[in-house]
Amino acid sequence: MDSAPAPLLVLVVDDNELNRFYLQDAFRMQGCMVETASCGEEALVKVTQYNFGLVLLDVMMPGIGGKETSIRMRQIVSPTLPIIGVTADHYVTRSAEPHGFDRILTKPLPIEVIADLIHEISGVRESTQSQPRIAVREELFAEVRKSFGAHSAYEQRLVKEFHTETLPRLKSLSDAAQTHDGQQLKTIAHYLRTSFTLIGSRTLTNHCQKIEEESSLGNWDAMAANCAQLHHHYEGVRLQIESL
């Protein structure tokens, strides 16, 4: 049986934290795995640690600027590494070649542009129409509310842990998938599966269970795809929890 194709791994480099968060979430919602860096120096270290399929690089940054960073990246990795420059400055020249970029785009990038980039690089486009944030609206906290009532202190504790602990653990899970650390994958997935069971999300629980099973088989491509899908569905559950 053919395994699912590995998701596109994207590096987002921007000294503005809000810009990094926007691009990180936007690419993850399209099924990509994302690493971020806040400066050129950090980005140059990251490209030695991961096999990126696409780099989004702020044109103007303090320290090593975007042009110099892109030149060094291609010296380290490959002259054909896809590097897209991004800028909020509408007066920056659109002639990408002198800056060392494949092209330069204006921030913020619309979701349609991001989807087109993914399609261009990987040949697989996950449109916003075909990628709902969550497959079904789940009855979250149903069992907890049966035992303790709605909005109990225990439920609030679960909500707080979900908002503060889940994203860092998802990041660690993706890191373990990239480094093929099966034991770490299994440990984190098991912890998350327990947490997601408590809040009542079968979707997230099932993804974690699959990752646990695949970690024992060494099916790395399938694990990477499941990690991306897990993060994708996490966003939907997060939005549902916020609406409760």
Does any domain span residue 1?
no
Pair (76, 105) in one structural domain: yes
Residue 70: count of CB within 10 angstroms of its CB: 26
| pLDDT score of 39 | 94
Domain residues for the domain of 154 are 142-243
Q: How confident is the model at residue 216 (pLDDT cuts 50, 70, 90)?
A: confident
The CATH number for 171's domain is 1.20.120
The CATH number for 57's domain is 3.40.50.2300
The residue count of the chain comes to 244
Q: How confident is the model at residue 125 (pLDDT cuts 50, 70, 90)?
A: very low
Pair (105, 175) in one structural domain: no
Pair (98, 57) in one structural domain: yes
Most confident of the ranges 1-5, 22-26, 70-74, 94-98: 70-74
Pair (108, 155) in one structural domain: no
pLDDT surpasses 50 at 1:
no
Does any domain span residue 211?
yes
Phi, psi of 137 (to 5 degrees): -80, 115
Structure tokens at 97: 């070649």
Percentage of residues in the chain having pLDDT higher than 70: 87
Q: What is the pLDDT of residues 43-101, one digit of tens each?
A: 999 898 888 999 999 988 888 889 899 999 998 888 889 999 998 766 555 554 556 78
Pair (163, 205) in one structural domain: yes
Q: What is the pLDDT of residues 139-148, one digit of tens each?
A: 898 888 887 8
Measured CA to CA, the distance from residue 104 to residue 229 in angstroms comes to 29
Pair (78, 177) in one structural domain: no
Phi, psi of 56 (to 5 degrees): -105, 115
Specify the number of domains making up the chain: 2
Whether cis (ω within 30° of 0) applies to the bond prior to 5 is no
Pair (29, 118) in one structural domain: yes
Q: How confident is the model at residue 162 (pLDDT cuts 50, 70, 90)?
A: very high
Contacts of 195 (CB under 8 A, 6+ apart): 158, 161, 162, 165, 166
Pair (46, 84) in one structural domain: yes
Structure tokens at 187: 């440990």
Instruction: Please state, rounded to an integer, the average pLDDT across all residues of the chain.
Output: 82
- How much is the average pLDDT of 19-46? 89
